[in-house]
Homo-oligomer: A and B are copies of this chain.
């Protein structure tokens, strides 16, 4: 799913400026997608050229004038086709796990810090997702599902981190003291 189509998706939920699309992605898609202004603004220009979105300029008091984009019917049709043709692929890249793979090369104080940081990060992410899930009214069924999905993964990981952090450190201490 490229940024162009992600913008169409956000606009399918209602008109928005480039700036507002970025905010929407941060608030509602951040645990599984990201985009910077440097990709959003060129995407909106391309989508305008392609006729998938149109915009009006809206002057504001004490704020810069903004371009408010909305989906054309051609854009809505196109986005439907995208949804029907996109494969449900996923990718996960973890420097944390790379560091764990080479745990035996690092001092135990460093590993203690890494495990603690990761545990904190997971706990924080879990609280963000649970916060949105519990406190937001008017979530679509799909959005509730994406939140529950993130909560399920992070809950599983938090349990593991709590059970295994200290035993991993013990195992590594044993490997260290036992020469081949």
List the interface of chain A (C-beta within 8 A of B): 1, 6, 9, 12, 28-29, 31-34, 79-80, 83-84, 86-106, 110, 114, 117-118, 121, 140-143, 145-146, 148-149, 152-153, 155-157, 159-160, 164, 168, 171-172, 175
Contact = CB atoms under 8 A, between A and B. Distances in A.
A172 B93 CA distance: 32
A141 B156 contact: no
Q: How many copies does the complex hold?
A: 2
A180 B141 CA distance: 15
A175 to B, nearest CB: 6
Contacts of A102: 9, 12, 83, 142
Tell me what chain A mostly uses at the interface: helix, strand, loop, or mixed: helix
10 contacts: A1-B95, A9-B101, A32-B93, A33-B98, A90-B96, A97-B146, A100-B146, A100-B149, A101-B142, A141-B175
A117 B87 CA distance: 10
B172 A141 contact: yes
A2 to B, nearest CB: 10
Contact of A86 (B87, B90, B95, B148): B95
A90 B94 contact: yes
Given A88-B114, A93-B33, A145 B103 contact: yes
A74 to B, nearest CB: 16
Contact of A157 (B80, B96, B156): B156
Contacts of A103: 140-142, 145
